[in-house]
Structure 1
Amino acid sequence: MATPRNARRPAPDRAGGGYRTSLPWRILTHASEYVDRRLGWDRLPVLPGLLTLLGLRIRLRQRNLHDTGRLPAVDPPTPAPPSASHRVNRTADGSHNDLGDPRMGMAGTRFGRNIPLDRIAPASAEAVLSRPNPREVSRALLTRHELVAAESVNSLVAAWLQFMIRDWFSHGSSPTDRPWEVPLLDDDPWPERPMRIMRTPDDPTRDPQAPAGTPDTRVNVSSHWWDASQIYGSGEAEQRLLRTGELGRLHVGDDGRLPPAADPSRDPSRVPGFWLGLAMMQGLFAREHNAICEHLHHAYPSWDDEELFQRARLVNAALLAKIHTVEWTPAVISHPTTVAALRANWWGLAGERVHRLFGRVSGSEVLSGIPGGGTDHYGVPYALTEEFVAVYRMHPLIRDDWHLRSAADDSTLRRCTFRDLAGPEALEVMGAVGTADLLYSFGTLPPGLVTLHNFPRFLQEYRRPDGKLQDLAATDILRGRELGVPRYNEFRRLLGLRPAGTFHELTGNPDWADEIERLYEGDIEKVDLTVGMYAEKLPAGFAFSDTAFRIFVLMASRRLNSDRFFTEYYTPEVYSKAGLAWIDDNTMITVLLRHHPGLRTPLAGLTNAFTPWHSAAPTAS
């Protein structure tokens, strides 16, 4: 493969790059902050709203990217020696994405932060278990009594999100010693006292000689890059097990199901968090990889197994990023301004039609989008952040009750609870119900809204593969405190947002305001980030909070900007002309129909696969 023609953009010497010295950009950022505080970006017409979001993104890039890699460290992960293949292939562990800093973003490197490092609270028992403790918050504010549905989307939204998270981040397996011991109220029915929640693993690269007060850090055992590691693995040995060794293909089971694990110790269904939705997405895009291989083999018959695999991996990862950017996210935050902004992230304000006719018409990401533009880290080495992890804790999307039905006629096949769809039981359901029927069922069932009193009850008593019970709602609250994520009001201050002055200002629901005030004993500064985000009044079309959205404004584009395979190496010389055409020509709907043509009727006329599908029930004559 040839070297790409685009020259690498030098990294700016400080956060925000040239935006900080350009008068027009300074005017835009100050005006955007003022307008957002006084009116709110979501109350503006689309064009002024887009300009406001652009200014806010610039300000976030300047103020809210912080590097934990400069803190004292020992024995950081070591990339393999550089080779010519690193220029045009993604590595299994994410190393060598930045050719000048091959360790950047690789598996085993630290999470970054969106808050100043001196504002990270230490993980003391006093801070983590302070009143109300995580279990009290779970019971009083998060418990679902009846599903509050997000009617504008379908449950593929939840499956897709878990699929993406498996690519983006993992803190790794918790140690079994020194669990957090959460005291319980007398009326708490939890079967053990105290409740024990395993700690997040320590940072193995932390320098034991680091000065007192050095902020806590954690590592991401996954690659930080958007590289489809949930499909291809995060190491060479794992990747070899997934490949057939012929025509670039991956092992795929019948009907797109995951093939049985060759090594029982690597059985994915035994990993915490595994469920039916995740299994369906992994199977679907493993099949998509093989379809891309076939497409490339026909276009370039001389390519060997390795070349086909590497090009197909690039194409599949980019297709996932495109679907998330211009389909999934606009479905869950369907405000007209955010829909336009997210499409502009990929195609620029010039739009998809101009892109298809002329390609990039400008070096500006604003006009022509991020893919194919210049690489830019905005003065801070790329890493996903603990705050990004925190705002993606969206377990309320998961339903408790699932009605599985036929894609042919909508007839009932099985009624399940989420417990039936999690862990090894999910594979039993996949064996009994066709994949097209499962996809249809997800496509016609709404997920939950990300809000208070809507946490799945089965996840508040989640039976882990090791047999232990876990309250994931309490765990979500505890993780924010343990990892030093600021409480709600402080989080907003650090993002340039106005904090809530009263509990009634925090939420548009007066009953919730009273509940939160009682639980937090009148101290609004103690309200946990998750509680505040779940309680917020949502912008029109949003399934999650505006506070969480600010992290997305920053990090959704950063994951593209920093990755050379989405920027200067997003070229025909690296991907192939046929590979780039595959990305342009496909959507989640075309992927579904390629592998499950029986879904054509419920998908007919839809433009976004994450919105509710048509019923397959026969119409009355």
Structure 2
Amino acid sequence: MSKQRRTARRSADGHRTSLPWRVVTAGAEYVDRRLGWDRLPVIPGLLTFLGLRVTLRQKNLHDTGRLPSVNLPDPAPPSETHKVNRTPDGSHNDLDEPRMGMAGTRFGRNIPLDRIAPATPEDVLSAPSPREVSRALLSRDELTPAESVNSLVAAWLQFMVRDWFSHGTSPTERPWEVPLMDDDPWPEHPMRIMRTPGDPTRDPQAPPGTPDTRVNVSSHWWDASQIYGTNETAQRLMRTGELGKLHLWDDEQSPIPSDPSRDPSHIPGFWLGLAMMHDLFAREHNAICDHLHGAYPSWNDEELFQRARLVNAALLAKIHTVEWTPAVISHPTTVKALRANWWGVAGERVHNLFGRISDSEVVSGIPGAETDHYGVPYSLTEEFVAVYRMHPLIRDEWHLRSAADDASLRHCTLRDISGPGALKVLETTGMPDLLYSFGTLHPGLVTLHNFPKFLQEFERPDGQLQDLAATDILRCRELGVPRYNEFRRLLRLRPAADFLELTENREWAEQIQWLYDGDIEKVDLMVGLYAEKLPAGFAFSDTAFRIFILMASRRLNSDRFFTEYYTPEVYSKAGMAWIDDNSMITVLLRHHPELRTALAGLTNAFVPWNTAGRTMT
């Protein structure tokens, strides 16, 4: 058995049998149920998180790879370059199991496999239908803002999602036919929603009742595949072939291909925020290449590209861990916990002075610790996908303003800055002004009655009309993600006894009770997540946060490029220094120094920026 396999098995078994860990986990669950972690002082709250994470690792990681599958060809045999380079498709991250986490492998689960509900028409389309839920509980009449953050959090989140997961392009045959009320203005009755693509790895001879599985067409790893692509061909198209660099939006060899079928603006979900983040970190890649070329002038194009990719991906992971997430869940305990994921409880200052002072991830953080799968092969999960359905973060109205003097430039709707319209805005408005506008506009709160109106009635690039709110509800049902109360039970949380316990908003409680015919067990996961009372500083639900406690660390723990191979020998000394020395603010100022006044005095780029005497909206 390899060192990595021994590590994974020893850790999983040790957490189950060690008396101190059993005491910690039992105490954490008791305190969390009776008091709630958010009511505790910071140190007891951190200990509670630690115990909860151990329990979640024991009980909420389930491997769909052991379900019947066809025999799949193994990736190419490992080579020396696989040890130090990320592959385009994510293969060979685990050198002993090269298929683990690569593009085209299955989503895992955070619930037992025997609790995955089959996707029958009765369950997927049952009353209330997804469209009824969308109309009655999700439609936005007026933006409910998340006032502690700015709209870069919405752009960033979709940028990350494009790296993490995609179920692929839906087939056009056998769509779900969603029944509509007589007064529903939708132009077609019934509403048709395309199915999630099936699992091509599923064994057609699998016994009846075998749980459904799906594959992730993206790499499961946190490897910046939204920038670099998930196959060799896509990656080559992004590269200039000189000094390791990437093509940029505004150079004479635009990354937008001449083939319209591959134009990113025609991909569902493309909008201005996504284009802005892609442009920013393509530029950051090139800046890293310049930095590495200066430090190691003998390196060729391939070496510069591969080291810069490693550094850029790690910087993205760091920003998400210690800046984005603490901004959107800014409770003092979660801020401390998330920073400890990266630097350990010893903290950033100790890391900067002495590096790692302990092998323990608790003391010195996960980057540089041992690789650990906790007894279950790594993958992202369907439950992880479900809790990241956060479209209410996106505004419908966008007021673009000048970074130089805050002067109004133009008013846009979400429709104006989506699809090909996003490229038109990029051509006519400077990037500093766009970033400033996002930084000085609040996003929406992830709550009921706050879903973007445009996303409830938008035309896809293929000409199909779609209600994304109804689609989100349907997807959770289709993919066997439990309803809200069952989801909480499986995370060892107390289910809501009634509708007033589900939400403190009495009007919402009455609306949900009426819509679900008085049956609290039927309430959809997304509805429950959006209805919950939020802990202080949170822009989304505490129930969703439980999946984050588990999966936010797992994405680092399992990736050898963030653990055993997170070393100067792999990244280079100059590359490691770049990761340590930079943040979202330094990235923004490096490429757009015009934002210096707007960012002056800030320590987190995702909180509201400075404006020239104007109140943020």
Give the TM bin, normalised by the shorter chain: over 0.9
Identity across the alignment (%): 80
CA–CA distance in 2 between the matches of 1:558 and 1:176?
A: 35
How far is the alpha carbon of 1:466 from its aligned partner? 1.3
The whole-number CA distance in structure 2 between the counterparts of 1:616 and 1:595 is 22
Structure 1 segment 17-166 matched on structure 2, within 5 A: 17-76=13-72, 78-166=74-162
Q: Distance in 1 between matches of 2:261 and 2:413?
A: 27
Show the counterpart of 2:456. Answer: 460
Contact 2:484 2:523 in 1 (8 A): yes
The reply on whether 1:322 has 2:301 as its aligned counterpart is: no
Question: Which residue number in structure 2 is paired with residue 427 of structure 1?
Answer: 423
Amino acid at match of 1:387: E
Aligned partners of 1:492, 1:327: CA distance in 2, in Å? 27
Query: Structure 2-normalised TM-score?
Result: 0.98
Unaligned stretches of 5+ residues in structure 1: 1-5
Equivalent residue of 2:234, what SS? helix
1:553 aligned partner: 549
Please name the residue that 1:305 is paired with: 301
Cα contact 1:154–1:447 (8 A) shared by 2: yes
TM-score normalised to structure 1 length = 0.97
Matches within 5 A, 1:432-511: 432-511=428-507
Spell out, residue by residue over 1:398-427, the C-alpha distance to the aligned partner (whole angstroms, 9 max, x if none). Answer: 000000000001111110100001100100
Equivalent residues of 1:257, 1:430 under 8 A apart: no
What CA distance in whole angstroms lies between the structure 2 residues aligned with 1:256 and 1:574?
33
**Aligned-partner Cα distance in 1 for 2:78–2:84:** 12
**1:204 equivalenced with 2:185 (yes/no):** no
1:524 aligned residue: 520
Equivalent pair of 1:255/1:435 in contact (CA under 8 Å)? no
Paired residue secondary structure (2:8): coil
Q: Does the 8 A contact of 1:243 with 1:250 survive in 2?
A: yes
In 2: Cα distance, 1:253 partner to 1:66 partner: 41
Q: Aligned pair 1:594/2:590, yes or no?
A: yes
User: Are 2:218 and 1:222 aligned?
Assistant: yes
Counterparts in 2 of 1:8 and 1:67: CA distance versus 1, 3 Å: closer
Q: Structure 2 unaligned segments of length 5 or more: list them.
A: none
- The Cα shift of 1:76 comes to 3.3
Q: Displacement of 1:478 after TM fit?
A: 0.1
Deviations 1:260-299 (A, max 9, x none): 3243321100100000000000010000000000000000
Q: For the Cα contact (< 8 Å) 1:9–1:374, is it kept in 2?
A: no
2:328 to 324, 328, 332: 332
CA distance in 2, matches of 1:33, 1:607: 34
> Could you give the per-residue CA deviations for residues 414-447 of structure 1, whole angstroms, max 9, x where no partner exists?
1010000110010001111001100000000000
User: Which of residues 253, 270, 276 in structure 1 aligns to 2:266?
Assistant: 270
Report the Cα offset of residue 462 of structure 1.
1.5
Q: CA deviation at 1:116?
A: 0.2
What is the aligned partner in structure 2 of residue 417 from structure 1?
413
Structure 1 residue matching 2:137: 3-state secondary structure = helix
2:205 alignment partner AA? Q
- What is the one-letter code of the residue matched to 1:609? A
Residue 14 of structure 1 and its aligned partner are, at CA, apart by 7.9
- Kindly tell me: are residues 63 and 618 of structure 1, through their superposed partners in 2, closer, same or farther at Cα, counting changes over 3 Å? closer
Which of 590, 597, 603 is residue 599 of structure 2 equivalent to? 603
Matched, 1:172 2:172: no
Whole-Å separation in 2 of the counterparts to 1:479 and 1:351: 40
CA distance in 2, matches of 1:307, 1:385: 33
Count of aligned residue pairs for this structure pair: 614
Residues 409, 618 of structure 1: 8 Å contact kept: no
Q: Deviations over 1:512-552 (max 9, x none)?
A: 00100000000000000000000000000000000000000
Answer yes or no: is the 8 Å Cα contact 2:256–2:264 preserved in 1: no
Alpha-carbon offset, residue 11 of structure 1: 3.5
Q: State the Cα distance separating 1:101 from its structure 2 match.
A: 0.2
Q: 2 CA distance for matches of 1:257 and 1:382?
A: 37
Note the alpha carbon deviations across 1:176-202, whole angstroms, 9 max, x for none.
Answer: 010000010011000111100000000
